[in-house]
Each structure stands twice: as C-alpha cells, then as structure tokens.
Amino acid sequence: MELSGPLDIGESEGARLLAAAVDLVVRHAQQVADGPVAPPEPGTEAIRGWLASRDFAKGVQAEQVLQEVMRALSTWGVHTTHPRYFGLFNPTPTWWGVAGELVAAAVNPQLAAYSHAPAAVEIERHVLGFLARRLSLPDGTEGSFTVGGAEANLTAVIVALTRRFPSYAQSGVQGRPVLYTSAESHLAWLKIAHMTGLGRDAVQLVPVDAAHRLDPGALREMRAADLAAGLEPFLLVATAGTTAGGAIDPLPELATLAAEWGLHFHVDAAWAGAIALSDRLRPLLAGVELADSVTVDAHKWLSAPMGAGMFLTRHAAALGQSFHAATSYMPAETEGAPDPYTTSVQWSRRFAGLKVFLALAIAGLPAYAKQLERDVSLGQLLARRLRDEGWQRVNDTPLPVICVVDPEAEAGGPEASAAWHAAVAGRVVTSGAAWISTVRLAGRPAIRLCLTSHRTGADDIEAVVNALGRARKGEIA
C-alpha cells in the first residue's frame, strides 16, 4: 500500500506498534502487585533528566520510546492499579474499559453533532438511560458523559442557575444567589462557584451531624438567616458518599426541604452512585430518585479508566436552555436527536461512554453487583481487623471507606494527633507495602483506607493491617 505522508506509517506498522503497547501494559499488570505501591520519592530531577533527552529534534524508534515511557510510569508514580492501593477512588480499570479506550481513540468519532456519530451518541444515551433507571429517575431523564464528577457538578450549578434565574443566561449572576452543601462535601463546589461567577462566598457549608451527614436543623437555621440577609438560595446539594468518610446525607429529608423551598436538589453520588447497580446496596441511596440532577463517576467505583463522569437531570428543557448554541459551521440538527454540544459543557467530545458500555455489556449487571457487594464485605473485614488491633473507627458508613485513629495518640490533642497519624501513614506509604492517606473528619485527624481495586483480596487486607501495625511501632521506615 502506498503511504501518503510522513505521519502515515501504514496499517502493518500500526499493528506492530499496538501489539508492542499491548505487550507492555499486560506485563505491567502482571508485575505491578510485586512491586511497591508508591515510589519512595517523586523523582522529579530524574524524570526531567530523561525528558531532556527526548527533545523531538528527530524521531526515535517506537518500541524504544514506548519502553521508556512505561519504565517512567512504573518507576515514578503511585500505582493506582495495585491491589494494595487503599486510596482515593482511583480504580484498577477493567480490561473491557481499556479496550474501549483503544477503540474510541482509533475510530475517533466526534460526538459534538449527532449527525457525525449517531451510533456513538446512542451508545452513550443507552448507558445514561440504564443508570437513570437503576437510580429510579423518571422517564425523560437526560444527561451527558463528562470528564469527571467536577464537570458534572459544574453542569448541575449551571442548570440550577438557569432554571431559577431567567436573566442568568443573558446577564449573568445578579443579586446574591447561594447554594448549600455539607461541610464534608467535595470542595470542587468552591471552584465551581468561582467559575460560574457566583463567587466562592456563595457556597454555604452546612455543619454535619455526628455521622458526618448534612444536618437539616443547621440547614434550616442557615437558610432563615440567609433570607433575612437578602441572599437568594437556589440549590441544595446532598452528597451520597462523602469523599473523606463515605457519609450519605439524609436524601429523602433534604429532597422534601428542597421541594418546599423551591431549590434545585442535586445529589453528588460521584463515588457511591455505583451501588445503584446492586439490588442489595441500592436502598442506601433511597431518595436519589427525587433529585433534580445527579452526578455519578464511572471512573471511580465502576472501574472505568479515568475520564468518565456522568450527569443526569430530569429537566431536559433546562439542559437545552443552559447550553444551546448555533453556528454557521456545525452540521444541521437531526430531527428528534439533540446535538450533544448544545446540551453539555463540552464542544468537541470524545467517546467516553464506550468503555462503560463495553464493560457493562460484556460483564453483565450481576458481575458488577457481585463486585460491589464483595468490596463492601472486604471493607467490613478491614474494619473488623483494624478494631482487633486497637484502632478506633471514627466514620460511620456501610461503604468500604474506613477512617481510624489510635486512641492513645489522639489523647495528645489535635495537632499532636495529626502529626502522629501523618507519620504512621507516611511510613506505610514509604515502605511501599500499601498506599493509605490521612484525612480530617469534621476537623478530627485520622488515617483513611478505601477499597478501590477489584484486584484487592483478603490477603491484601491482612497485609495493610500488618503494615499499619509495624508503622505504629516504628518498625518500618
């Protein structure tokens, strides 16, 4: 076959390149569990030194560069695909998800305009519709794939503002709108308030109860004071599965208050929304069906590779009012099928939904339900084992995130406690045995462990409990 230009290496060369890449990632997956979860140090100087030799002045053999990149990624970085990564909701992606990334990149459909990629847009709508039904949201629920939860939450604020303030679209924020979310919520809300012109002060952080859930009594008081001060509440956010401690806000009660007060009710279920796929766990989300909009990340507990958030709303018309646009150069609309660039934040749009579709279609719903339930039982095992070893649990959730303190270390006061727990967690991470983190729950310093990998098993639970025990006694570096 004749090659057309310097970037065209042809299909057989392309196939060799992809085969080499596949070899490398499979070997990585085979070996990752045998090495440390995290490097002892970031290695910035060494990384920059290596990159200085890759100045693009001339091309280098493909396998060579691929190998260098894989070596760099293996050496310098936290291995979120390690079975003992008890971290921040970054999953081990499924192989189906990885295959989806490859196909999406290679076929490269442009989902901005429906007419450019009807199959791809319909596949995404199919997945979003499935999730909406699992969440018991009404027929006619619409939405989009997003880069992640932060973009989905941004979308929620724009839709809520558009619904509530008819002048927002043309004139921007007027008056002093405020939104409510718990003090334990994901603080992307502050960035979103900054970006949307609300200003960070518009985020009213509502105190939480003893179980770290938004306290409706405190919310009532805050709202009364805000109304008296001339502020205009427009949005109530409930978090279903807080990032730090896995608390689920009282959704039915908050939904009722939002309806009574005329507030848009958004449920941020970025992480824990995954449990909608299990009949046994789904009741924990009761009340989510009353939401005006919902955020769920597939790239957290649904084990999709990074870059797969989802936004759903029952207000399809408000979605269109929020993101409509018309140009002379975009292809004409397709009857009865909105163009995604007119219903979402993004314009050019990659096919993020394929990796989720493939995984669901190949594994099937029962496999997902079983995995989620298995993670919950492993979380219970971890909580039990830590209690056996004298750690005190300080969060209260059925979800597999466990926050613990050493009661003796805590007795020294919050500053000494923060330093002690950080030192112990730091020793575990530096040893390479596991990746865990520290957190403050309602200001209380603690060590946090979260199950995120479908490769994690009971032996990994035992290993992290053991590493924590040794770190506590100063036996590991």
Ligand X SMILES: *Cc1c(COP(=O)(O)O)cnc(C)c1O
Interface residue list for ligand X (CB under 6 A):
89, 148-150, 153, 186, 188, 239, 243, 268, 270-271, 297, 309
Residue closer to ligand X (CB basis): 254 or 467:
254
> What is the smallest separation between the CB atom of 116 and ligand X, expressed in angstroms?
26
* Rounded distance between C-alpha atoms, residue 274 and residue 241, angstroms: 10
Whose Cβ is closer to ligand X: residue 271's or residue 311's? 271
Using H for helix, E for strand and C for coil, what is the string for 336-385? CECCHHHCCCCCCCCCCHHHHHHHHHHHCHHHHHHHHHHHHHHHHHHHHH
Residue 231 C-beta: closest distance to ligand X, Å? 24
Angstrom distance (rounded) from CA 476 to CA 291? 48
In the chain, how many H helices and how many E strands?
Answer: 16, 11
Choice between 150 and 206, CB closer to ligand X: 150
What are the tokens at 190? Answer: 């502050």
Q: Please, which residue, 157 or 188, has the CB nearer to ligand X?
A: 188
* Alpha carbons 354 and 243: distance in angstroms, whole number: 26
Q: In the complex with ligand X, which residue's Cβ is closer, 131 or 468?
A: 131
Pure H helices in 245-346: 251-261, 316-323
Q: Of the two residues 86 and 168, which places its CB atom closer to ligand X in the complex?
A: 86
Q: 189 by DSSP, 3-state: which? A: helix
Amino acid symbol at 368: Y
CA 85 to chain centre: 16
Distance of closest approach, residue 74 Cβ to ligand X, in angstroms: 24
Measure the CA–CA gap between 349 and 328, rounded to whole angstroms. Answer: 19
Task: Give, in degrees to the nearest 5, the angle at Cα 461 between 410 and 366.
Answer: 125
Q: Quick check: 213 and 399 in contact, CB under 8 A?
A: no
**265 contacts: CB under 8 Å, gap ≥ 6:** 236, 238, 254, 255, 258, 259, 290, 291, 292, 293
* Assigned token pair, 167: 């002048």
Which H or E run contains 160?
helix 149-164
* Minimal distance, residue 309 CB to ligand X, in Å: 5
Q: How far is the CB of 213 from ligand X (least distance, A)?
A: 13
To the nearest whole angstrom, how small is the minimum distance from the Cβ of residue 270 to ligand X? Answer: 3
Write down the H helix ranges in 58-117. Answer: 62-75, 95-107
Closer Cβ to ligand X, 156 or 424, answer by number: 156
Question: Are 189 and 203 contacting, i.e. CB atoms less than 8 angstroms apart?
Answer: yes
Q: How far is the CB of 440 from ligand X (least distance, A)?
A: 16
Residue 137: CB minimum distance to ligand X, A: 18
In the complex, least distance from residue 406 CB atom to ligand X, rounded to whole angstroms: 26
Minimum CB distance to ligand X, residue 87 (Å)? 12
SS3 label, residue 324: coil
Q: Which is nearer to ligand X, 215 or 268 (CB)?
A: 268
| Cβ contact 286:135 at 8 Å | no
First to last CA, the chain: 59
